[in-house]
Structure 1
């Protein structure tokens, strides 16, 4: 009897945003203690507590445990500022506002703290992608990486993908995450995410999967990747 294949839907951006926030919280407070918690609070208030609450509630309703509520009062007053934006734009705005006070105060050391959060976030996502593949009897090979990816690719991403032997090459001519950071003049914070995220996801998926990321939307106007499975 053939084994039934399971449909694996993408995680919502509310879940992905909540996961990212939790890793930022952990990394910043591990490094800077109570002062780090105040920096996270400052960043979340700059982003907007009502917007954070909306994402937190949606993520919780979908079964995600997170740390948003540690920074939110029981009753959050005011209106959402970004309800009309895409979930990718809201992710970008949240990330930049949390990173900003840390980097502004601690410089390169603060950048390392933020990138460590992204690395952990990415590695866990990569492990999840490997589990998604395994659930349907697939190996965590390069050809099954993107087909089992955990984040949906909307039409807001403009991507050219080429499959080669033991390699996938991708060029993003438009990325809503990078575009939002550029529009907000927050590229110095957004680039900390861009530098780390894809290699971290790849390593979590398969420790032999390496990523060459030699062009960035925030620098060259497009992102270029080579996902290469090493022996």
Structure 2
């Protein structure tokens, strides 16, 4: 195991900066995707997604060879990534709080409430609202779009995989003929298409919430 790793984006990961939690032991034996997903409490689809985003791999991943992953290195990468995400969110939150003072997209109720405020009072009101949002997030009343997006991507991946393999399962378990398998496949494809259309229409279009920014919209989920 290396103490410093060069990631695909050119950045250097200091593995020693992110030690494993107390009591967690890495015996040096490589883990596969299923092993790591159980340890981290996420799905294999999430592990695959992280690998695509630069999580270090010891070996494998080509020509049907299983991935070999280091628990220590993958943990350090995950902690580093979460730290970077937190810093990015903090910078965006600060920028959005400042922008709120410069440009207010007020509805009728807010306009009536704020019309008599001085610049100092408006700044204090904006800062108080920003902190209220932060407290609401910590209580669980507000959820960041990035967390919802990650969960949705995971669920969509599971659904897509299940629907893609459903015709074959039904053919084996229920003895469907070729025509019936084709019919099931057609219905599964139609469902995936409908899900994609709803995501593109309802999730990827329109205005975005500025107060609690996420990682950005991503097309091609299905």
Say which structure, 1 or 2, has more relative contact order (CA 8 Å, 6+ apart): 1
Say whether the fold is shared (TM-score over 0.5): no
Q: Which has the larger radius of gyration?
A: 2
TM-score by length of 2: 0.29
TM-score by length of 1: 0.28
